[in-house]
Amino acid sequence: MNAIKNWLMRGGYGSFVILALILVVVFPLAMDIFRLNLVGKYLTYGFVAIGLVMLWGYGGVLSLGQGVFFGLGGYAMAMFLKLEASDPESTKIQSTPGIPDFMDWNQLTALPLWWEPFKSLPFALFAVVAVPVLLAFVVSFAMFKRRVGGVYFAIITQAVALILTVLIIGQQGYTGGVNGMTDLKTLLGWDIRTDGAKYVLYFVNAGLLLGAILLCRWIQLSKLGTLLLAMRDKEDRVRFSGYDVSMFKVFAFCLAAGLSAIGGAMFTLQVGFMSPSFVGIVPSIEMVIFAAIGGRMSLVGAVYGTLLVNFGKTYFSESFPDLWLFLMAALFIGVVMAFPNGLAGLYESHVKPWLARRRSAGAPATLPVPPAPAGHAAPVKAEPALSARVSGQTA
Amino acid sequence: MSNTDFVLAIEDLTVSFDGFKAIDNLNLYLDRGELRVVIGPNGAGKTTLLDLICGKTRASAGSIKFKNEEMTRLPEHIRVRAGIGRKFQTPSIYENLSVFKNLEVSFPRGRGVFGALGFRCDDEVRAKVDEVAGMIGLADRLDMEAGLLSHGQKQWLEIGMLLMQDPELLMLDEPIAGMSAKERELTAELLLRICRNRSVIVIEHDMEFVSRIAHKVTVMHQGKILAEGPMEKVQADPKVIDVYLGH
Amino acid sequence: MSFDEIYNITLMQGFAGLSLFAVLLLMGLGLAIIFGQMGVINMAHGEFMTIGAYTIFLFSSLTESLAPGLVQAYFPFAIVCAFLVAFGIGWLTEWALIRHLYKRPLDTLLATWGLSLGMQQVFRSTFGPKEVSPTLPDWLMGSWSPAEGLDIPINGMFVLALTVVVTGSVLIALYRSRWGLRVRATVSNRAMANATGINTRRTDRLTFAIGCGIAGVAGAAFTTIGSTGPTSGSLYIVDAFLVVTFGGAASLWGTVVSAFGIAQTQSISEFFLSGSMAKVLTLLLIVTILMMRPQGLFAAKVRR
Amino acid sequence: MSSKYDNVPLSPERRRLLQGLAALPLFGVSKLGFGASLPTAQVNTTGLAITDTEVTVGQLHSATGTMAISETGSIQAEQLAIDQINALGGILGRKIKVIKEDGASDWPTFAEKSRKLLVNDKVATVFGCWTSASRKAVLPIFEKENGLLYYPTFYEGLEQSKNVIYTGQEATQQIIWGLDWAQKEKGAKKFFLVGSDYIWPRTSMKIARKHIENFQKGRVVGEEYYPLGNTNFNSLINKIKVAKPDCIFAAVVGGSNVAFYKQLKAAGITGAKQFLLTLSVTEDEMLGIGGENFAGFYSSMKYFQSLDNENNKVFVESFKKAYGPKAVIGDVTQAAYLGPWLWKAAVEKAGSFDVDKVVAASPGIELKTAPEGYVKVHDNHHLYSKARIAQGQADGTFTVVAESSDLIVPDPFPKGYQ
């Protein structure tokens, strides 16, 4: 017992276990499949948020173009699903049956060559991660080698997001344009639109997200994590200790890109389509705020931040659509001005000392684990939104 | 000059910022095991010289050879791995990490991305940390957060972080600035101890300290070398006196 | 196609590039001051432009209903007012928001992004979601036709002239006025500037407000060539940042040159390629050059 | 938005309770009170949110974001029609209750909200969507959950769904007659096609090109697309000047529209000198563009606010009464207004709110009171409607100059145009 307890305390895994319980047990029991599917969708943004924790919180590099990777991952998945949905039988109404509908609308008469490999699921899954990571590598290698950092990097990632959006929209014969790729139906014959499939996908998604958190936590606890933190404060010292600082940043950027891409692919599977509205600048910045609200240093906090903002968005846009933007604005400004470390920081600075005071008599004092992910601060905060949504649903 | 016994051979080194020559056609040779002190008035180009050697600044012209290998075009981390260590003027340590972590991170293993991922703190690392910590007098402070150390201790820690890598050339920019007399004394001893098996370049203003540690002194002025030699000789040089007193 | 026609088209295309240059420069100028001189990333810059545009619209509506006779004359006053309104709001923004964040430049980015969202909603609640156009005086409409088949847009000339005036004033102010001296002193060494008796906080606030005011003028000028809606500002913001970054943030001349380069590239490639591809090409070119020369076109070499 | 549309949905428990009560055959007091003709159990066999006194419908448009500019008119028109229907006693004795959702100009949000309306709120029908992208995003959901959508915008065609009634024109209805008119009346042979870069302009221009080249034996001297939101058209205008077309055929949308016409005017291309026919300027867009910039150009639509008939006079009057004298009505606004009325007619014909029955009853539904004149639902779920050309005036209004003599048959998959 004590061994487990120690393990939980040491790595800050306690909050992880709580999150896992919430995602895997509480949500599925408390929500109907419609709400659960929504949560699943939010959690796909969680991948981006934890990627940003690694990149921004740990690496000190802010990217305003994470939507690019989310989108690329999503598109790679969507291409496979779209091809499967476009068998000659169900597209016989087209002038060229057997190719995706949007190609037919744009007078393409044959499947473009670079689409061919996406007929294979293993290739598509490989591409989901490989394409975004490769792009991330090319972009970041060039820039970090030349010491482009901070604000400049953020602005260039924005430009990349803009370029990709314009490209996707402009090349609609190959990409589906503004509409994106819609009407995705089956994965190797398995209908992803049924309630059963949505449950399965939700658990796969939650599992992957928890796995991703563990992976990132492991990286944080490795020397690489120490170096990332060290670089953020004393970049020159790290460089003059013989480390190739730029490669560490490239790694963080590629890691964040790969995670975002997995999120994108899971988004496509759960929502049933992919569109360029995720690639652009606005969604990319929104994803940054998910991480900022949760706490840019806390993996678990970032997931809570994502859930909280999205629950808020859904709730407010249903009830007070006009207020939503004001609330979003207030969140941005408030978090930046008052709680730079987000909910996790709030938990560290207020809730934890309070809990400690209450317990101070019995339990031994806990060692402060500097960047420990926050635990129960967020769910407490999220409760009003949650209960409003959950009430009356069948369990 | 091709192959030499010098650990460091700098020839015709020039760097200019928008036409202003901070280092102007400079030549400097450093022997193995030598402790060289560079002195000179403010703006003479001392720190710029160290920046050029370690790669922080790129040379406009000239050559820097370390153990007969051309360094001028190499990136900083490669120069460090070749054996050049640099300490900055203000103590540059990881304040949020423990002393132990500070030293551990500086251990020259697992320097690539995946190497760092797989790095484990084994006995070899611990032994090295203990050894260095003993040298810099922080053996009993290993678990302390580095930010809580005194100013002098921070300076020593940074030197210790360099020692973790066993560099063949160690460059220290004003290591005793802001130290108490007692700390200066300890630092001088430390420097004399560590230069036994490596070369050291020190930038310093404190003449008493300089005369205590220096094997040889180089006087810089306006990006050029004004004089070079043993302390007594340099101190007697009328050009040097002129530069120091004429201003 | 006759020689005359080719000549005319070349002239008009040349002017198209010039007027795009004017637009980009006007967008970038305010930002160059705020971002370049102060290091603050103002994502609400586009919304400050929108403030200017709505000021013109308000003026136009008021003039039409209260003093229809003055429709031909209101525009210059409205531009001055656009500057003042944006200046005032910029002043307030600096006081309420920006001054707390000087040490965290990436956080100013997030906070001002939030601000821009809020401002958009204010516009929507005040002016409605639909796009509006002020009634322009007749002298701003149509074209100047010095020869058959040659039409030079008057609104383009107006924007160009305004850009020249604004840019000129900014350059003069920055290099000839006491404010400029204070700004440049603060930029190069804040602590020293403070020590020599410059009130850097006041300088910051004034600088930020002036940058916002120029954004307001830009927005006002754009009402002659485009539309104004609650989200118009977000159309401009990335372009504006690219212009400034590409030019080299700290240099106003860089901004001028980069606006010129980007405008000519885009305008010429648009003429020979499709509109979407021209945009992609221009952006790719900018990003590639920035990757090779991250400090931008013009950057001061500083001994560090 | 005015607060009068903020309908707070019933909580699910309460709704279930009401449904349960209504299912009790003896509990028919309220029915008598409202004089309803049919018991709920009979008109609602699929568990929709219908009580003895109320039928719940959804409305799904963008109240925020870039598309709010365009969709506001549709929101208002649908609400007006619903208010009017309610004032007449509702449908099958039940008042219409609206759950309004905001798609926020974001396609995934549309998908999320449509699923909420269908799965959670069990609405009987949805009036909504504006852009093709939002419709494409919700379409699989409507087909999967068997919902019913009334879609108001003129669009690119190439689609036909059991679960959608398209109250706007598909592309051929808007384009072909207009091009023929341009050829006949204006003698246009050389066309320059300009559009924003997305599916609707591209498909429209594809149809236009085929028609011009294969059927009219004319020439397309240029075809250009600009990114959505582009505001700089000077290079394009020079290209047009080089090509010297008889007709500029335009489908530029959104904020680009305003910049496009302002810059045309500034470059000396005015209605007096150049013939321009557009598919994308209604009275709504005119507000932003400004009449002086569009004066003399032509627009091809099925409806204009200035249409001179009794239905339209009444409609315009009630619309202005509801939304102020400055309110304008564009083509889509009118098409959106048709939605609730077409649904009412279909429900009453079917005698049921069940989606399958309403869908089955829809083809052949006529509306003699439509502001645009007589319309009828085709078997392919699009409307038969007339095509009209109107010329923009300096005061921002349109003057109708031509009207097809017959209703044009909708043909979402036109042969010879693919």
Q: Domain range for residue A80?
A: 36-288+295-304
Answer yes or no: is A321 within a domain.
no
**Taking 80 as the threshold, does the pLDDT of residue C293 lie above it?**
no
Report the mean per-residue pLDDT for chain B: 87
Could you report the per-residue pLDDT of C244-264, keeping only the tens digit for each?
A: 888 876 778 888 999 999 999
Distance (Å) of CA C129 to CA C61, C132, D140: 17, 9, 29
For residue D236, the chain C residue with the least C-alpha distance is: C271
Contact status, residue D190 vs residue D221, Cβ threshold 8 Å: yes
Could you report the per-residue pLDDT of C173-225, keeping only the tens digit for each?
A: 888 888 888 888 887 777 788 888 888 888 889 999 999 999 999 999 988 88
Q: Are strands D298-301 and D275-278 parallel, antiparallel or unpaired?
A: parallel
Rg of chain B taking only CA atoms, in angstroms: 18
- Residue linked to tokens 């941005």: A332
Q: How far is A200 from chain D (nearest CA, A)?
A: 18
Distance (Å) of CA C168 to CA C29, C74, C160, C162, C242: 11, 24, 12, 10, 21
What pLDDT score does A9 carry? 58
Read off the pLDDT band of A8 (50, 70, 90).
low
Number of structural domains, chain D? Answer: 2
* C-alpha span between B7 and A388 (Å, rounded): 73
Read off the pLDDT band of C231 (50, 70, 90).
confident
What pLDDT score does D34 carry? 40
Instruction: Show which residues on chain A lie within 8 Å of chain B, measured between beta carbons.
Output: 219, 222-224, 226-227, 229-230, 233-234, 236-237, 239-245, 247-248, 250-251, 370
Taking residues C260-278, report their average pLDDT.
87
Q: Are residues D177 and D281 in the same domain?
A: yes
Indicate which CATH number applies to the domain containing D155. 3.40.50.2300
Closest by Cα among C134, C141, C116 to C232: C116
Q: In chain C, what are the domain boundaries?
A: 20-139+155-236
Interface ipTM: 0.83
Q: Are residues D330 and D376 in the same domain?
A: yes
Answer yes or no: is A371 within a domain.
no
Contact status, residue D256 vs residue D226, Cβ threshold 8 Å: yes
**Taking 50 as the threshold, does the pLDDT of residue A373 lie above it?**
no
| Lowest-pLDDT choice from A179-183, B176-180, B204-208, C292-296 | C292-296
What pLDDT score does D417 carry? 76
**Taking 50 as the threshold, does the pLDDT of residue A315 lie above it?**
yes
Instruction: At D124, list the tokens.
Output: 């009987």
Chain D partners within 8 Å of C153 (Cβ) = 234, 263, 266-268
Read off the pLDDT band of A88 (50, 70, 90).
confident
What pLDDT score does A4 carry? 62
Taking residues A17-38, report their average pLDDT.
90
Higher pLDDT, D344 or B243: D344
Instruction: At A143, list the tokens.
Output: 């820039």
Number of structural domains, chain A? Answer: 1
Residue from A35, A36, A95, A105 to probe the interface with D (highest D Cβ count within 10 Å): A105
pLDDT < 50 positions in chain D: 1-36
Instruction: Show which residues on chain D lie within 8 Å of chain C, measured between beta carbons.
Output: 63-66, 68-69, 72, 197, 224-227, 229-232, 234-239, 241-242, 255, 257-259, 262-263, 265-270, 284, 287-290, 292-293
Q: Are residues D285 and D149 in the same domain?
A: no
Q: Are residues D334 and D359 in the same domain?
A: yes
Answer yes or no: is A345 within a domain.
no
pTM of the full predicted structure?
A: 0.85
Taking residues B152-170, report their average pLDDT.
90
Contact status, residue A269 vs residue A77, Cβ threshold 8 Å: yes
Taking residues A349-361, report their average pLDDT.
74
Distance (Å) of CA C15 to CA C244, C257, C267, D347: 22, 16, 10, 60
What pLDDT score does A216 carry? 94
Q: Are residues D9 and D130 in the same domain?
A: yes
* C-alpha span between D165 and D150 (Å, rounded): 5
Q: Are residues D291 and D340 in the same domain?
A: no
Domains and CATH numbers, chain B: 34-56+74-246 (3.40.50.300)
Helix (H, G, I), strand (E, B) or coil at B67: coil
Read off the pLDDT band of C299 (50, 70, 90).
low
What pLDDT score does C288 carry? 84
The answer, for B76 touching chain A at a CB cutoff of 8 Å, is yes
Answer yes or no: is D192 within a domain.
yes
Read off the pLDDT band of A385 (50, 70, 90).
very low
D in contact with B (at least 3 C-beta pairs within 8 A): no
The verdict on a CB contact (< 8 Å) between B22 and C302 is no
Chain C partners within 8 Å of A335 (Cβ) = 110
Q: Are residues D176 and D287 in the same domain?
A: yes
Could you report the per-residue pLDDT of C121-140, keeping only the tens digit for each?
A: 899 888 887 778 888 888 88
For residue C115, the chain A residue with the least C-alpha distance is: A329
Q: How far is A253 from chain B (nearest CA, A)?
A: 12
Q: Are residues D32 and D165 in the same domain?
A: yes
Q: Domain range for residue D68?
A: 3-169+312-384
Read off the pLDDT band of A67 (50, 70, 90).
very high
Could you report the per-residue pLDDT of A190-247, keeping only the tens digit for each?
A: 888 888 899 999 999 999 999 999 999 999 989 998 899 888 888 888 988 889 999 9
Higher pLDDT, D6 or A120: A120
Instruction: Show which residues on chain C lie within 8 Å of chain B, measured between beta carbons.
Output: 300-304
Q: Are residues D91 and D186 in the same domain?
A: no
Contact status, residue B105 vs residue B94, Cβ threshold 8 Å: yes
What pLDDT score does A375 carry? 37
Read off the pLDDT band of A361 (50, 70, 90).
low
| Lowest-pLDDT choice from A201-205, A300-304, C291-295, D293-297 | C291-295
Answer yes or no: is D408 within a domain.
no
Higher pLDDT, D123 or A317: D123
The verdict on a CB contact (< 8 Å) between A169 and D116 is no
For residue D99, the chain A residue with the least C-alpha distance is: A318
